[in-house]
């Protein structure tokens, strides 16, 4: 019996793959057998090197999800694709009474509009060639909680959770599974300031039952599972990978 956690022969596109969680996802998928296309606004050459070191194969492509339509058009040149991981995201912080329309639009374009447009283009191609596929969106703890001073980010990540469910409903019969992973507090560049603040770090760790910050590989493992045959009957799920944060 073949290993249900292997994904040999597949082609996977991972957005925001130049660093952090996206980079770990790219390496994880490659280690499981996928050919990985690492996409980002900046060079993903380091990610491709890590993919190669892990014994996988990969390539990089540059596009900016701040222009979702153009980014979606870029998928045509990358077909056929079997896996799409919508990982790229941005955050802008300000009090809600002062939050600018420009910041709102920028965050929503990258975090939600681009997720829909890339998923739509991916699905059209997969349905057109009568092939299945896997889409994994990266949600957030703020898909469930409100947060503070991040209104657009919170709205966009609530939207990602809802979008995951509606696309799963529409495309499951077409053989396309759509799921999301909601990371908890992960040790990346984005959380470095929090981890370097002894008081804030202690407060966060005190809330996490696992008692540690997550590692990007924790997210990569969950994404790889959702892209594998082992998750063939999983669709419309938002999987929390948070060390128990939301259960607390």
Predicted confidence at residue 194, as pLDDT, reads 86
Where the chain has pLDDT below 70, the residues are: 1
Q: Is 153 one of the catalytic residues?
A: yes
Query: For residue 30, which of 4, 5, 8 has the smallest C-alpha distance?
Result: 8
Question: And the tokens for 198?
Answer: 């002894």
Predicted confidence at residue 190, as pLDDT, reads 82
Cα pseudo-dihedral 46, 47, 48, 54, rounded to 10: 110
Predicted confidence at residue 45, as pLDDT, reads 97
Predicted confidence at residue 230, as pLDDT, reads 98
Pick the CATH number of 11-239 from 3.90.700.10, 3.40.50.720, 1.10.3860.10, 3.40.50.2300: 3.40.50.720
99, 153, 185, 233: which one is catalytic?
153
Predicted confidence at residue 2, as pLDDT, reads 84
Predicted confidence at residue 179, as pLDDT, reads 99
Query: For residue 29, which of 230, 178, 226, 238 has the smallest C-alpha distance?
Result: 226
Predicted confidence at residue 116, as pLDDT, reads 98
For 95, 194, 196, 237, the CA distances from 92, given in Å and listed in that order, are 10, 16, 20, 27
Stated pTM of the model? 0.97
d(C-alpha 50, C-alpha 212), whole Å: 25
């Amino acid at each position: 019996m073949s290993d249900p956690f292997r994904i040999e022969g597949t082609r996977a596109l991972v957005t925001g793959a130049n660093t952090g969680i996206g980079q770990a996802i790219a390496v994880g998928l490659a280690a499981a057998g996928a050919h990985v296309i690492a996409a980002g606004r900046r060079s993903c050459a380091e990610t491709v090197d890590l993919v190669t070191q892990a014994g996988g194969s990969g390539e990089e492509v540059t596009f900016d999800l701040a222009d979702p339509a153009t980014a979606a058009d870029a998928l045509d040149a990358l077909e056929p694709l079997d896996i799409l991981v919508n990982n790229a995201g941005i955050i802008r912080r300000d009090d809600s009474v002062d939050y600018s329309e420009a910041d709102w639009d920028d965050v929503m374009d990258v975090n939600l509009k681009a997720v829909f447009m890339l998923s739509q283009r991916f699905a059209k191609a997969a349905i057109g060639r009568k092939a299945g596929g896997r889409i994994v969106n990266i949600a957030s703890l703020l898909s469930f909680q409100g947060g503070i001073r991040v209104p657009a980010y919170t709205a966009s990540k609530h939207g990602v959770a809802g979008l995951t469910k509606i696309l799963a409903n529409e495309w499951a019969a077409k053989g396309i599974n759509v799921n999301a992973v909601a990371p908890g507090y992960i040790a990346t560049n984005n959380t470095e300031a929090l981890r370097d603040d002894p008081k804030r770090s202690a407060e966060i760790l005190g809330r996490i039952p696992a008692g540690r910050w997550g590692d990007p590989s924790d997210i990569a493992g969950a994404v790889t599972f959702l892209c594998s045959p082992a998750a063939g009957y999983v669709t419309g799920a938002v999987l929390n990978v948070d060390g128990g944060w939301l259960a607390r």
